[in-house]
């Protein structure tokens, strides 16, 4: 049973004050619907994660205490500490209350030259420092049109898994985010996203074995909205979403969570 996961990637948006206003509104909007009710075990409910910019992480984590909603970072360095101006470590994220870290986002890969090797080192560091990695993969428009999506995504998944043990691999989250769909309002077709999710699972199986491909959680990201999320969530191999733009508004992000709950009926039958 894979627990659905919905992640808000705020990117470089919101000061501490703005973040706290959001959390107050978000909790008021959705907490009742996603908190554990009666005898329903927590694992049957979706996991919700908010990844604010680093300066707001401690405040957001503190504001979420006791809600079951988790927090995370958008990036870390692979070293624990040292002379790395402008960087933050996994240990620091953990100490600020973070549980997850988004790694290898396409904006980091293209804007900051993060290679598969760097993503592999960061994934290793996240696990060593007590964080759960969300490794992003995805093809550009040129690659999709050239028919090399599978090759690109397989290579990036191999990169993400390069330095992790089989046991650890099963705890990874892999987010399929086609680069052409990020922030463009042009989402992938759910059937195409499903096809790539199945490819990701097949690559994990090939590298790790032990049926791990069906244990990792695979998310879709790229122009997810309350209107289109249902189409992705109706696909059994897609476990959740990584949401950018629409996660900045507590009402829109709450609607995305509500739609996810509607489309994942396993949640209600499992106990």
What does the binding site for ligand PGA look like in residue numbers (CB under 6 A)? 9, 177, 182-183, 221-224, 242-246
- In whole angstroms, the minimum distance from the beta carbon of 10 to ligand PGA comes to 10
User: Residue 167: helix, strand or coil by DSSP?
Assistant: helix
Torsion of CA 86, 176, 223, 132, to 10 degrees: -50
Asked about 105 being catalytic, the answer comes back as yes
Selected catalytic residue, list 47, 177, 187, 259: 177
How far is residue 60's CA from residue 21's CA, in Å, rounded to a whole number? 10
Q: How far apart are CA 220 and CA 138, in angstroms?
A: 10
Which lies closer to ligand PGA via its Cβ, residue 57 or residue 207? 57
Closest among 50, 53, 48 to 36, alpha carbons compared:
48
Nearest approach in angstroms of CB 237 to ligand PGA is 19
* 77 labelled catalytic: no
Of 204 and 224, nearer to ligand PGA (C-beta) is 224
Catalytic residue among 47, 77, 105, 143: 105
Q: Please, what is the minimum distance in Å from the beta carbon of residue 100 to ligand PGA?
A: 13
Of the two residues 113 and 147, which places its CB atom closer to ligand PGA in the complex?
113
Residue 109 beta carbon to ligand PGA: minimum distance, rounded to whole angstroms: 11
Return the bridge partners of 68, or none. Answer: none
Q: Nearest 5 degrees, angle CA 114-CA 134-CA 267?
A: 160
The whole-angstrom separation of Cα 170 and Cα 187 is 27
Residue carrying the six token digits 């000061």: 15
Q: Taking CB positions, which residue lies at the least distance from ligand PGA?
A: 244
10 or 267: CB nearest ligand PGA: 10
As annotated, the active-site residues are: 105, 177
């Amino acid at each position: 049973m894979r627990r659905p996961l919905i992640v808000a990637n705020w990117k470089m948006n919101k000061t501490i004050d703005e973040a706290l206003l959001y959390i107050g509104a978000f909790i008021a909007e959705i907490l009742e619907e996603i908190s554990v009710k009666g005898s329903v075990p927590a694992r049957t409910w979706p996991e919700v994660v908010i990844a604010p910019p680093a300066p707001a992480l401690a405040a957001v984590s503190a504001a979420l205490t006791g809600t079951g909603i988790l927090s995370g970072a958008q990036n870390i360095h692979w070293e624990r500490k040292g002379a790395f101006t402008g960087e933050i470590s996994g240990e620091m994220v953990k100490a600020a209350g973070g549980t997850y870290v988004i790694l290898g986002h396409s904006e980091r890969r293209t804007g900051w030259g993060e290679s598969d090797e760097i993503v592999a080192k960061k994934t290793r560091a996240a696990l060593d420092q007590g964080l759960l990695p969300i490794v992003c993969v995805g093809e550009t428009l040129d690659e999709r049109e050239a028919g090399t999506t599978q090759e690109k995504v397989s290579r990036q998944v191999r990169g993400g898994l390069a330095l992790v043990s089989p046991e650890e691999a099963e705890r990874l989250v892999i987010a399929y985010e086609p680069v052409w769909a990020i922030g463009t309002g042009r989402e992938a077709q759910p059937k195409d996203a499903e096809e790539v999710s199945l490819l990701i699972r097949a690559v994990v199986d090939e590298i790790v074995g032990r049926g791990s491909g069906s244990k990792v959680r695979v998310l879709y990201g790229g122009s997810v909205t309350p209107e289109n999320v249902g189409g992705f969530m109706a696909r059994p191999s897609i476990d959740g979403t990584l949401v950018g733009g629409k996660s900045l508004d507590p009402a829109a992000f709450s609607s995305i969570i509500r739609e996810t709950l509607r489309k994942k009926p396993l949640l209600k039958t499992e106990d």
